[in-house]
Amino acid sequence: MTHPTISIPTTSVPAPPQGIPLLRLGFRPFYLLAALFAALAVPLWAAMLLGYLTIGLTVPPLLWHAHELLYGFATAVVIGFLLTAGKAWTGLPTPRGVALGALALLWIAARLSALGAPYVVYAMLDIALLPLVAGIFGRVLWRAGNRRNLPLAGVLATLAAANIVFHLAVLGIVDVSPVRALYAALALIVVIECVIAGRVIPAFTANATPGLTITAQPRLTQAALAAVVAGLALWVLGAPPALTAAVLSAAAALQLLRQWHWRPFVTGGRPVLWILHVSHAWLPVGFLLLAAAQLGVVPVSAGVHALAVGATGGLIIGMLTRTARGHTGRPLQVSRLEVAAYGLVLGAAVCRAILPLVVPQFFLHLVAGAAAAWSAAFLIYLFIYTPWLTSTRMDGKDG
C-alpha cells in the first residue's frame, strides 16, 4: 500500500559553507595554481632559451619546459575540472578541506622539486598525484553508477602511466625517448579536450542562444574521436609517415565537420563562447601541421605548439573563466580584461606555431613575444579571479 506524499512547508535554511573557501571544491586551488605556474614557467623557459638565465634544474631545460607545461599546468586544470565536475555529475562529494589541500601541496612539491632536488625525489613526487586523482575520480563515478564518464578515469590513469615512462626514460631504465613519452601525454590531454569540448561547447552555445537547437551527431562524434585517437597513437608510436599523415588529416576534417554542427558563427557577440570555438579550431590546425610534419613539410614543433598553446591553452583560458564564474555564482559575461586574456593566448599560439613557419629568421623574437603574451594572459586571470576563488560564492552556497 502506498501513501501520498505530503509537502510540509519549512523555514529552515541551508547550513552555511564549511571550511576556508579556497578548499571547498577542486577548481579553486588547482585553477589558481595552474594560472600562477603558467604565468611564471613560460617566461622562465624563454629566459633560459634566450640565454638570459641559468637554473640548475633537475632535468634538461627543454624536457623541463615540455613536461611541466603538460604535467604541471595542463594536468592541474584537468584535475581541478574533473574533481569539480565529478561532484556535479554524481552528486557525491569530492575531496575538500584537508584532503584537497594535501593534493594541492603534492602538486606544489613536485613543481618545486624540479628546481634542483635529486631526480628520484622529483620523480616520486611527480608520479604520485595522478594515480591518486584517477582513483578518487573513478571511485566517485563507480559509486554513482556513472559509467558514461568512467573512461575519463582510464585516460587519467594512462596519463599517469605515460608520466612513469617519462621518468624511467630520463633515468635510463627503459629504452624510450623521453620526448616520445611527452608526445603521448600531449596526445592524451588532447583526447580529454576532444571529449569534454564535444559535450560542453555545443551545450553552452545552445543554452546561450535563444531559439538555437544543436542536434546531436553521435556517429560523427564517434568517428571524429576514433580518428583523433588513431592518428595521435600512430604519431606517438612512430608509425609509417604516410599512414599517420592520412589518419591525422582525416581527424582534422572530422573535427571541422563536427564543429560546423555546433554553429560557431552565432557566438560572435559572446566572448566566453567564441574563445571555446576558436580554441577548438586549433585542434584540426594542429592535426594538419602534424600530418605535414610527417611528410617533412614543416617541423613537428609547429603541430605540437598548435595543440599545446592554441588548442590546450585556448580551451583552458576559456574554461578557467567560464567554469570559475559559474561555480562562484557570477554571471557568465566576461569583462574586457578577460577578452584581452583570450586574445593574448591566441596571439601566443600564432607567434609560436604559425609565424616561425613564415618568418623563421625571427624565431627567438617570436618565442619571446609568445612567452610575454602567454604570461600576461594568466596574470590577468590571477588579478581578476584570485579574490573570487579565495572567497565564498556570491550566492552564499557551498562549493
Q: Which sign does the torsion angle of CA 214, 31, 194, 310 carry?
A: positive
CA pair distance 80, 11, nearest whole angstrom: 35
pLDDT digits (tens, 9 = 90+) for 121-171: 999 999 999 999 999 999 999 999 999 999 999 999 999 999 999 999 999
Domain borders along the chain are 20-176, 197-389
pLDDT digits (tens, 9 = 90+) for 48-73: 999 999 888 999 999 999 999 999 99
Worst-scoring range by mean pLDDT, 1-15, 130-144, 205-219?
1-15
Where are the extended beta strands (E) located within the chain? none
Helices (H), 25-96: 27-49, 61-68, 75-90
Tally the C-alpha atoms within 13 A of residue 194's C-alpha that lie toward its C-beta.
29
Residue 260 has pLDDT above 50, yes or no: yes
Q: According to the 3-state scheme, what is the secondary structure of 264-277?
A: HHHHCCCHHHHHHH
**pLDDT value at position 399?**
85
Question: Of 108, 81, 46, 23, which Cα lies nearest the Cα of 318?
Answer: 81
Residue 32 has pLDDT above 50, yes or no: yes
CA pair distance 108, 128, nearest whole angstrom: 12
Under the banding of pLDDT at 50, 70 and 90, the label for residue 3 is very low
**pLDDT value at position 352?**
97
- Do the Cβ atoms of 167 and 55 come closer than 8 Å? no
Mean pLDDT confidence for 274-303: 97
CA pair distance 91, 86, nearest whole angstrom: 8
What's the mean per-residue pLDDT of the chain? 94
CA pair distance 182, 258, nearest whole angstrom: 27
**pLDDT value at position 41?**
97
CA pair distance 139, 150, nearest whole angstrom: 9
Mean pLDDT confidence for 267-277: 94
Residue 347 has which C-alpha cell?
A: 596571439
Burial of 121-133, coded b for 16+ CB within 10 Å and e otherwise, reads: ebbebbbebbbeb
Residue 233 has pLDDT above 50, yes or no: yes
Under the banding of pLDDT at 50, 70 and 90, the label for residue 208 is confident
**pLDDT value at position 6?**
37
Eight-state DSSP code of residue 59 = S
